[in-house]
Chain A
Amino acid sequence: DGGITQSPKYLFRKEGQNVTLSCEQNLNHDAMYWYRQDPGQGLRLIYYSQIVNDFQKGDIAEGYSVSREKKESFPLTVTSAQKNPTAFYLCASSSRSGGADTQYFGPGTRLTVL
């Protein structure tokens, strides 16, 4: 089955620690995205990547970092600089970025900072 996997489903972190969220896709898509979801705010774009070894900041990139070393993988690191990291994080991919191409979403990771 083709799709997007995110791990772990639930993640707990102590303040001051960095944590990395995994996102893998086997859809052979070029573009990948990370969104943050908070209650009542919809989805906000953190980072996106149109191709391997290239990525761009989204609307709320501060305190986050990403890498795109392989086409199928786009991990997100939440650093200690992110002031309010507790949220639901969603990864998505599309065959190319922008336009009418559908973004397909993973099941999400819920991060809680203790």
Chain B
Amino acid sequence: AQSVTQLGSHVSVSEGALVLLRCNYSSSVPPYLFWYVQYPNQGLQLLLKYTSAATLVKGINGFEAEFKKSETSFHLTKPSAHMSDAAEYFCAVTESNFGNEKLTFGTGTRLTIIP
């Protein structure tokens, strides 16, 4: 069965500092991995996804994530935090085998930007 663990339910960084949000996954077959962002009282918006092409995936708003099979990780990074990055971030996994329709989400990491 697939699962996702997001380390740190709350992360605070200073404006201009590196953002690092951690995601580890468990999957019995090669996974597809996603990062979504949610602003208060809104739906989720896709930041980026890994679909077994390049292991370094670039997304919107300057975010990127690297798929590391040996570490079963898909951490999200941004070199320089901006105030507008304050939001909740969700990592999600689905499996590449036919017949698995479920997207499993982590419990989320709330990112706070300190001016």
Contact = CB atoms under 8 A, between A and B. Distances in A.
A50 B42 contact: no
Interface of B: 9, 32, 34, 36, 41-46, 49, 51, 90, 94, 96, 98-103, 105-108
A98 B42 contact: no
What interface size band does chain A fall in?
20 to 34
Interface stretch (A14-22, A77-85, A105-113): A105-113
Contacts, number: 60
Nearest to B42: A107
> Could you tell me the dominant secondary structure of chain A's interface residues?
strand
A43 B46 contact: no
A41 B101 contact: no
A45 interface: yes
Interface of A: 4, 6, 31, 33, 40-45, 48, 50, 56, 58, 88, 90, 92, 97-100, 102-108, 110
> Could you tell me the dominant secondary structure of chain B's interface residues?
loop
B43 A43 contact: no
A61 to B, nearest CB: 13
B44 to A, nearest CB: 4
B87 to A, nearest CB: 14
Nearest to B50: A100
A106 B102 contact: no
Contacts of A48: 101-102
Contact of B100 (A44, A98, A103, A104): A98
Contact of A98 (B34, B36, B43, B101): B101
A99 B96 contact: yes
B79 to A, nearest CB: 25
A93 to B, nearest CB: 11
Nearest to B36: A105
A98 to B, nearest CB: 4
A33 B44 CA distance: 13
Given A99-B96, A103-B46, A103-B103, 20 more contacts: A6-B43, A42-B105, A43-B44, A43-B90, A43-B105, A48-B101, A50-B101, A56-B101, A58-B102, A90-B43, A90-B44, A98-B98, A98-B100, A98-B102, A100-B51, A100-B94, A100-B96, A102-B34, A102-B46, A105-B44
